[in-house]
Structure 1
Amino acid sequence: MGRMSRENGSAGLPEYAERVLEVAELIPPGRVMTYGDVAEWLGAGGPRQVGRVMALYGGAVPWWRVVRADGALLPGHEQRALGHYRDEGTPLRAAGSSAARRLPRIDMARARWDGGAGDGADEGAHI
């Protein structure tokens, strides 16, 4: 996941990418934000821009906490993500019976984080 690790020097990252990655690091274990939530939090870009940043640079942050709005697991990374969700106690919905739905989905109603205080994250202002 992601081509650049933050340890390799984030100085070369575009400013927007750095801001997106900082938000991803704020999301508490067991909670998620959608790509659109992150863009709204930043007041810039949109879900596609956030998704692009996560695809290119997200490998060194908790990428599994930035998700699709429908709660589907990230294609190509389902098993890795599922392991993280189970380790962190992220609320999941049971898998369906169809071939396309053999994996659980994130229970967005319970797992979605609004960036508020009191659930494990700093109370700092938006980035």
Structure 2
Amino acid sequence: MEAFTLRVIQTIQNIPAGKVMTYGQIAAQAGSPRAARQVARLLHSMSAKYDLPWHRVINAAGKISFQDENHRQTQKELLLGEGVVFTGMNVDLIRFRFDPGED
């Protein structure tokens, strides 16, 4: 496994319940700030294998990225169950974004 991939997996595993991180934030934390799309691909392909809390990863606008309504609703329900508050489909990133350097 590549070092970047391992760091992405570890970063996602460490997002606490009730918090979210963005794809770009995870990419930067893993050492490649311009690799947000790669994070999305890794999340899609490795979530089940590594039991990743995939639902805690959202886009930089604070929105759920799924185009499929069922997936979008599932992610929203999982986050709501952890206490994350939405305005429509948006998460308040100031309040709910996890920053590994601060928390």
Instruction: Report the counterpart of residue 100 of structure 2 in structure 1.
Output: 115
Instruction: Report the counterpart of residue 33 of structure 1 in structure 2.
Output: 21
Paired residue type of 2:9: L
Deviation at 1:66, TM superposition (A): 1.4
Q: Distance in 2 between matches of 1:18 and 1:43?
A: 11
Where does the alignment leave 5 or more consecutive residues of structure 1 unmatched? 1-12, 96-103, 119-127
Where does the alignment leave 5 or more consecutive residues of structure 2 unmatched? none
Per the normalisation by structure 1, the TM-score is: 0.67
Computing the radius of gyration from Cα coordinates, the structure with the larger value is: 1
Residues 53-68 of structure 1 correspond to what in structure 2 (within 5 A)? 53-59=42-48, 60-68=51-59
Q: Distance in 1 between matches of 2:81 and 2:63?
A: 18
Q: Distance in 2 between matches of 1:52 and 1:67?
A: 13
Deviation at 1:117, TM superposition (A): 5.0
Q: Distance in 1 between matches of 2:31 and 2:4?
A: 11
Q: Distance in 2 between matches of 1:117 and 1:110?
A: 13
- Pick the aligned partner of 1:84 from 62, 78, 84: 78
Per the normalisation by structure 2, the TM-score is: 0.81
Between the two proteins, the alignment pairs up a number of residues equal to: 97
Deviation at 1:82, TM superposition (A): 1.1
Deviation at 1:50, TM superposition (A): 0.8
Deviation at 1:48, TM superposition (A): 0.9
Q: Is 1:71 the counterpart of 2:62 in the alignment?
A: yes
Q: Distance in 1 between matches of 2:101 and 2:31?
A: 16
Q: Distance in 2 between matches of 1:84 and 1:21?
A: 19
Instruction: Report the counterpart of residue 6 of structure 1 in structure 2.
Output: none
Provide the identity percentage: 32
Over residues 65-95 of structure 1, what are the superposed CA-to-partner deviations in whole Å (9 max), with x where a residue is unaligned? 11111122131211111111111001322x2
